[in-house]
Amino acid sequence: MSQGNGTKDKISPRVIERLTKYLRCLESMSPDDYISSEEMAERMGLTAAQIRKDLSNFISEFGEGFGVRGKGYQVRILYSGIERILGVHKTNNIIIIGAGRLGSALLSEPEFTKESFNVIGIFDSAEHKVGREMSGLKIRNISELDYFLETKDRVDIAILTVPKAVAQEMADKLVSAGVKSLLNFAPLKIKVPENVVVANIDLYAKLQELNYWKEKVL
Ligand SMILES: NC(=O)c1ccc[n+]([C@@H]2O[C@H](COP(=O)([O-])OP(=O)(O)OC[C@H]3O[C@@H](n4cnc5c(N)ncnc54)[C@H](O)[C@@H]3O)[C@@H](O)[C@H]2O)c1
Q: What is the mean pLDDT of residues 21-50?
A: 94
Q: Whose Cα sits closest to atom 9 in ligand 1?
A: 186
Bridge partners (DSSP) listed for residue 68:
72
> Using CA of residue 204, residue 208, residue 214, residue 215, what is the dihedral sign?
positive
Q: Which residue range forms the structural domain that includes residue 131? A: 92-205
Is the model's pLDDT at 131 over the cut of 90? yes
Domain count, the chain: 2
At 94, the pLDDT band (50, 70, 90 cuts) reads very high
DSSP 15-43: HHHHHHHHHHHHHTS-TT-EE-HHHHHHH
Q: In this structure, is residue 112 part of a structural domain?
A: yes
Is 185 touching ligand 1 by the criterion CB < 6 Å? yes
The pLDDT, as a whole number, for residue 8 is: 47
Angle, CA 149 vertex, CA 120 and CA 198 arms, to 5°? 80
How far is residue 91's CA from residue 96's CA, in Å, rounded to a whole number?
16
Please report the pLDDT score of residue 4 as a whole number: 56
> Is residue 214 domain-resident?
no
Residue 35 in any domain: the answer is: yes
Coil/strand/helix, residue 212 = helix
Confidence class of residue 2 from pLDDT cuts 50, 70 and 90? low
Measured in Å, residue 14 CA sits from the centre of ligand 1 at: 28
Which residue, of 51, 69, 86, is where some domain finishes?
A: 86
Ligand 1 pocket check for 187: Cβ under 6 Å: yes
Confidence class of residue 9 from pLDDT cuts 50, 70 and 90? low
**51 and 103 inside one domain:** no
18 and 61 in contact (C-beta within 8 Å)? no
Q: Of 38, 58, 86, which closes a domain? A: 86
Q: What is the pLDDT of residue 143?
A: 96
The verdict on the CB of residue 97 being under 6 Å from ligand 1 is yes
Residues flagged as binding site: 98-103
Shared domain check, 10 and 75: yes
The enclosing domain of 176 has a CATH number of 3.40.50.720
Is the CB of residue 100 below 6 angstroms from any atom belonging to ligand 1? yes
Asked if residue 217 belongs to a domain, the reply is: no
Q: Write out pLDDT tens, residues 194-206.
A: 999 999 999 988 8
**Rounded Cα–Cα distance for residues 169 and 201 (Å):** 17
Question: How many angstroms separate the alpha carbon of residue 79 from the centre of ligand 1?
Answer: 35
pLDDT of the residue at 218? 64
